[in-house]
């Protein structure tokens, strides 16, 4: 019999079925279906304008899809139809958190305060939506201590604990990106969606990011990410879905998609007859970066 861990790892956390999104005359996503597995890092890749951010915006409630179903399957066995929920319900109830292409921290607040703001809902609930917090009632005090404890755990994991009391805006770029991820993790998501987390990072920052993302996965949160940096995608993803012109052109392990001629053609923008040459070029580049 499979162990519980193995079973958990192989089941589906997110199903996207026949998703379409039309903007006026443009079909940005056209009948897209794919699944993300629980306990895995799934990467959504594709050339510029392929529709990756639009898929993210549909999953996280920023857009209502023109057609299709997006289902979040909780580990409790409960399912949530994301296209029917508002964005705040998607975070709070369906437990899907996201980060954006551009950093959205409260730069004037400290690193720790940014993580406490993320837990505002839980603290408000503990206060009974009254002045219990100001009066220092035990239930609120406990909740506040828990919030600080959770923030500390994430700051340790992201190697930011030394900077807890510094303004978030003073952190180097790569550290700000990691802080954003910690902030999303403080909301307790089952699925974390990251929009280009490695954009603008230097190789050292990129390595720190990879370690953080792998530790998030290994502790049981599933990840879905859009990423242009192929070294990040190939190093940390368990599963890759490739889009071109709003449609899926490949789906499988990093090795599978890396060698898929359709993917190579899409990235290099080559015609079928030029494919062999393009594949040789890609293999040569891959060999150099090993």
Ligand X SMILES: Nc1ncnc2c1ncn2[C@@H]1O[C@H](COP(=O)(O)OP(=O)(O)OP(=O)(O)O)[C@@H](O)[C@H]1O
In the complex, which residues of this chain contact ligand X (CB under 6 A)?
Answer: 23, 26, 28, 46, 48-54
**Of 211 and 231, CB closest to ligand X:** 231
Exposure of 96 by Cβ count < 10 A (0-12 exposed, 13-18 middle, 19+ buried)? buried
Q: Tell how many helices (H) and how many strands (E) occur in the chain.
A: 12, 10
| SS3 at position 275 | helix
The Cα 92–Cα 97 span in angstroms is 9
**Of 96 and 168, CB closest to ligand X:** 96
**Of 49 and 252, CB closest to ligand X:** 49
Closest separation between CB of residue 267 and ligand X, Å?
Answer: 12
Six token digits for residue 64: 């209502």
33, 16 contact by CB (below 8 A): yes
The Cα 38–Cα 190 span in angstroms is 9
Closest separation between CB of residue 7 and ligand X, Å?
Answer: 33
CA 144 vs. chain centroid, Å, equals 27
Closest separation between CB of residue 27 and ligand X, Å?
Answer: 9
**Of 26 and 135, CB closest to ligand X:** 26
Closest separation between CB of residue 100 and ligand X, Å?
Answer: 11
Closest separation between CB of residue 64 and ligand X, Å?
Answer: 12
**Of 46 and 133, CB closest to ligand X:** 46
The Cα 69–Cα 136 span in angstroms is 45
Angle at 93 between CA 239 and CA 236, to 5 degrees: 20
């Amino acid at each position: 019999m499979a162990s519980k861990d193995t079973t958990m790892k192989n089941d589906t956390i997110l199903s996207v079925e026949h998703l379409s999104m039309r903007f006026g005359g443009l079909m940005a996503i056209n009948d897209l279906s794919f699944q993300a597995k629980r306990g895995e890092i799934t990467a959504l890749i594709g050339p510029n304008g392929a529709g990756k951010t639009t898929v993210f915006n549909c999953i996280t409630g920023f857009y209502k899809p023109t057609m299709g179903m997006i289902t979040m399957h909780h580990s409790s066995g409960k399912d949530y139809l994301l296209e029917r929920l508002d964005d705040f319900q998607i975070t709070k109830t369906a437990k899907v958190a996201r980060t954006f292409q551009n950093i959205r921290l409260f730069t004037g607040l400290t690193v720790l305060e940014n993580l406490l703001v993320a837990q505002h809902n839980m603290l408000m609930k503990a206060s009974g939506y009254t002045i219990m917090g100001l009066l220092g009632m035990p239930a609120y005090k406990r909740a506040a201590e828990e919030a600080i404890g959770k923030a500390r755990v994430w700051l340790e994991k992201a190697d930011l604990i030394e900077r807890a009391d510094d303004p978030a805006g003073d952190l180097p770029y790569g550290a700000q990106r990691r802080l954003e991820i910690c902030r999303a993790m403080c909301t307790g998501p089952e699925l974390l969606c990251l929009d280009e987390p490695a954009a603008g990072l230097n190789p050292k920052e990129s390595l720190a990011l990879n370690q953080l993302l792998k530790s998030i996965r290994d502790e049981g949160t599933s990840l879905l990410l859009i990423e242009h940096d192929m070294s990040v995608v190939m190093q940390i993803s368990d599963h890759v879905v490739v889009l071109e012109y709003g449609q899926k052109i490949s789906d499988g392990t990093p090795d599978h998609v890396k060698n898929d001629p359709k993917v190579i053609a899409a990235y290099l923008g080559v015609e079928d007859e030029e494919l062999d040459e393009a594949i040789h070029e890609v293999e040569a580049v891959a060999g150099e970066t090993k």
